[in-house]
Amino acid sequence: MSEQQEFRHELEATLAAREEMGPELEPQLVDRFADRIEAEIERRAEARPRREFPRSGHNAPMIPLALGSLGLAIPLMGIAGGTAGFPGVLVVCIAIVLVNLFWALPRR
């Protein structure tokens, strides 16, 4: 018997018992059936595989870091390019990449 048919059968049995027992026991029947539904929902939620999203080593969002890196990279590259030329720009780019890389690595 499938789970859906099982629930349908249990619901029908609960409704039949409700008619036989009268309104004084109705709250107990409804509570029992509701508890059964809640337990089934919890069982299904635990059985469902959880989606794991790749996470960085911290809870801070990465967008502010990326925007901050770009905001600092532009003037730093301008200064480095004006004073040291291409090697200065290369050093600034490597430094920004390293800072972002170390920020994104998981913490131990």
Mean pLDDT by 10 residues, the chain (108 residues): 77 78 78 84 80 58 82 91 92 90 76
Report field, pTM of the whole predicted structure over 0.85: no
Name the residue with tokens 């309104």. Answer: 23
Would you state the torsion angle of the CA atoms of residues 73, 78, 81, 84, taken in this order, to the nearest 10 degrees? -90
Task: Report the alpha-carbon distance of residue 93 to residue 74 in Å, rounded.
Answer: 10
